[in-house]
């Protein structure tokens, strides 16, 4: 699976008129869509090569949908919520976005087909243009999702954006990240009784752009839900011969490290950097043995299934003899639908 960008999408996206002008009859096009033909319908009257579509991550598939709507709109829309997140190329955790979200100051909310039109007043400063698409700014997008999405979706978007500001987690610019995060916090403070403000404030307490991948971000969230204090992220452990091994999460209360193991770490050839699966596994074993031996800390590995719920993570930790904290300081962060109106 891979991501793509707006320009690449435009080069491949075709309208029905484009395809019929190229010699594809309407009946043939309809037959292709019904089966496994070359073209896949993105929305009414707009098509994308099926092989390209099948290779994309869900965020990029939604971006194709967003571009198709923009190309066919009579009035240039302003994309919002998860659709703006797709334009900004933010990670959207485990969410298959079926409809495009736009925002309008002069219409009531309206759900029509594959589009949700939200009524909201947006300052001009909160509208930006990205490769010809108008959407809410990065800051406004993150603020909206922190309020209206689940903690999982909101925090993944927030940490992804924050990571861009702070940069490489191993040389993280904490001052720049804190300044940017303070701007989001000020939005929340000034929002008064707006919907989701209390939820956004709790999400902000967990934010840290040093989380590198959505799996790490959600694991950190579940640890906080279980009552652990904010864990350390990307913790260096001196390596033999110099340098450092970087551990994903340090749970100091449990005297343990937690490593987030997504499947692509082992199955994606690009992520293996030319190494065989056996070489990757051997290197990981040697690394883990060294860390465990030199720090006297337990090393726990977990994947997506263990981060799916607080209970699943608690069970994983218990399997390694790690109990929950005696004094629970966890945030409320209730379970919610992945995103409002989706």
* φ, ψ for residue 255, nearest 5 deg: 55, 50
Average pLDDT over residues 268-295: 80
List the structure tokens of 136. 């809410």
Plot region of 112 (φ>0 → left; ψ -120 to 50 → alpha; else → beta) = beta
All domains in the chain, ordered by first residue: 57-206 (no CATH), 214-319 (3.40.960)
Look up tokens 């989701």; give the residue.
196
Average pLDDT over residues 278-300: 90
Higher pLDDT among residues 313 and 281, named by residue: 313
Residue 192 has pLDDT above 50, yes or no: yes
Q: What is the mean pLDDT of the chain?
A: 89
Q: pLDDT category, 13, cuts 50, 70, 90?
A: very high
* SS3 of residue 134 by DSSP: strand
Look up tokens 């008129």; give the residue.
17
Contact indicator for 227, 321 with CB cutoff of 8 Å: no
Plot region of 16 (φ>0 → left; ψ -120 to 50 → alpha; else → beta) = alpha
Can you tell me the distance from the alpha carbon of 272 to that of 91, in angstroms, rounded to the nearest whole number? 21
Q: pLDDT category, 340, cuts 50, 70, 90?
A: very low
* SS3 of residue 174 by DSSP: helix
Higher pLDDT among residues 265 and 97, named by residue: 97
| Non-local CB neighbours of 67 within 8 Å, separated by 6+ positions | 6, 9, 10, 13, 133
Can you tell me the distance from the alpha carbon of 201 to that of 188, in angstroms, rounded to the nearest whole number? 7
R_g of the chain computed on alpha carbons: 22
Can you tell me the distance from the alpha carbon of 119 to that of 105, in angstroms, rounded to the nearest whole number? 5
- 295 closest CA partner among 211, 238, 342, 231: 238
Supply the pLDDT for residue 269.
59
Can you tell me the distance from the alpha carbon of 87 to that of 141, in angstroms, rounded to the nearest whole number? 10
Supply the pLDDT for residue 330.
55
CA angle, 328 as apex, 323 and 334 as ends, to 5°? 105
List the structure tokens of 301. 């590995």
Q: 114: burial class by Cβ within 10 Å (0-12, 13-18, 19+)?
A: middle
Alpha helices, DSSP H, located in the chain: 6-12, 16-21, 26-34, 50-54, 58-72, 81-87, 138-148, 151-166, 174-190, 197-206, 214-225, 264-267, 277-295, 304-307, 310-319
* φ, ψ for residue 81, nearest 5 deg: 50, -130
Higher pLDDT among residues 93 and 339, named by residue: 93
CA angle, 143 as apex, 140 and 144 as ends, to 5°? 85
Q: For 315-332, how does the pLDDT look when each residue is reduced to its tens digit (9 = 90+)? A: 999 999 999 988 766 555
- 43 closest CA partner among 21, 66, 23, 27: 66
Contact indicator for 328, 227 with CB cutoff of 8 Å: yes
Least confident of 147-151, 216-220, 329-333: 329-333
List the structure tokens of 4. 């793509």
Q: Are strands 115-119 and 100-104 parallel, antiparallel or unpaired?
A: parallel
């Amino acid at each position: 699976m891979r991501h793509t960008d707006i320009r690449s999408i435009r080069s491949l996206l075709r309208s029905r008129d484009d395809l019929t002008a190229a010699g594809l009859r309407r009946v043939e096009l309809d037959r292709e869509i019904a089966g496994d033909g070359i073209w896949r319908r993105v929305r009414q009257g707009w098509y994308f090569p099926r092989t390209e579509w099948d290779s994309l991550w869900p965020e990029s598939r939604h971006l194709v949908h967003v571009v198709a709507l923009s190309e066919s709109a009579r009035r240039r829309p302003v994309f919002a919520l998860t659709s703006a997140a797709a334009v900004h190329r933010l990670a959207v955790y485990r969410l298959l976005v079926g409809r495009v979200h736009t925002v309008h100051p002069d219409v009531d909310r309206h759900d029509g087909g594959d589009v949700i039109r939200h009524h909201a007043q947006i300052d001009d400063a909160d509208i930006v243009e990205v490769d010809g698409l108008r959407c809410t700014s990065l800051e406004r997008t993150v603020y909206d999702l922190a309020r209206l999405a689940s903690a999982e979706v909101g925090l993944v978007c927030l940490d992804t954006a924050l990571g861009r500001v702070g940069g490489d987690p191993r040389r993280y610019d904490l001052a720049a990240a804190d300044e940017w995060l303070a701007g989001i916090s000020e939005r929340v403070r000034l929002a008064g009784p707006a919907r989701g403000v209390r939820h956004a404030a709790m999400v902000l307490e967990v934010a840290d752009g040093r989380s590198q991948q959505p799996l790490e971000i959600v694991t950190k969230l579940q640890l906080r839900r279980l009552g652990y204090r904010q864990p350390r992220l990307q913790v260096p452990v001196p390596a033999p011969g110099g340098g450092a091994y970087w551990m994903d999460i340090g749970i100091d209360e449990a005297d343990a490290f937690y490593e987030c193991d997504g499947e692509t770490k082992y199955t994606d050839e690009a992520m293996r950097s030319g190494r065989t699966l056996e070489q990757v596994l051997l290197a990981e074993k040697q690394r883990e043995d060294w860390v465990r031996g030199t720090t006297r800390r337990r090393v726990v590995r977990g994947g997506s299934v263990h981060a799916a719920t607080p209970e699943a993570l608690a069970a994983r930790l218990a399997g390694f003899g790690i109990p929950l904290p005696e004094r629970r300081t966890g945030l409320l962060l209730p379970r919610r639908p992945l995103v409002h109106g989706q």
